[in-house]
Amino acid sequence: MKRRNLSLLPASVRFRFIHRDLLDTEKSLLQDAEVIFHLAARPGVRTSWGAEFETYVRDNILSTQYLLECAGGARALKRLVIASSSSIYGNSPAEFAAEDQPKNPVSPYGVTKLAAEHLCSAYATQNDVPVVVLRLFTVYGPRQRPDMAFQCLIHAALTRSKFVLYGDGEQRRDFTYVQDVVSAFLLAAKISGPFQAFNIAGGGIVSMNEAISLVEELTGDSIDVDRVRPQTGDVRNTGADLSKSRDVLGYVPRVSLCEGLKAQVDDVERMLSQLST
């Protein structure tokens, strides 16, 4: 599926795909980079407990520290933009979390993302690495990785299979369309000044029950929902205060949840059609 997502890019002479562990990447590869977008990480809240935590430390903390070391020696670097997560806030007391409020991650994954942010701040302050951090809120859209809720939900609707829902469905998320995230990264690459962190969200909060109903409406199929107990580390609600992102970055989310989900439904339909031929 990941290879499929890359299928159009090799045709461009401006694209080179290097499949490599970040910790095994030569520093010289980044020496002439003007902008670096860092999205390499071990995702997932539920799998970050227990023995897997060591992998999260390696992929989210050590890899970020190594990249910051590489960035410090990049001669032409103007901006390093790093993807962080709304998970650093935990169960925020405010409906809309602001960047300067206390951080209280409730999962090992959230802890590693917050640690990576602290590393960014340290390297920016002490080594003048030009870092910007974007805290992403529940990203969705076409070509989403297969374990994410919306991809599973749409697949269940189109194949008439079961969708496992953790919790009562009243947990609320600030869903963010992938194209809005791309826009945010491009905006962050252009700003100047000291280290800063920004919330990047969709600007509209809905419950999972509402999202399920919307997918049923878009696909024309009812979904067999298997409701199970909440998973440890899942936060109840997420919501972003976008004031700083709007005022400093110029970021404004453009794609509504209905529009974004329609695009994702169309993408999953195409994928299933290709697999059946």
- Could you list the active site residues? 109
Q: Is residue 152 within 8 Å of 46, Cβ to Cβ?
A: no
Q: Is residue 165 within 8 Å of 212, Cβ to Cβ?
A: yes
Neighbours of 196 (CB within 10 A): 17
Buried b (16+ CB within 10 A) or exposed e, 94-115: eebbebeeebebbbbbbbbbbb
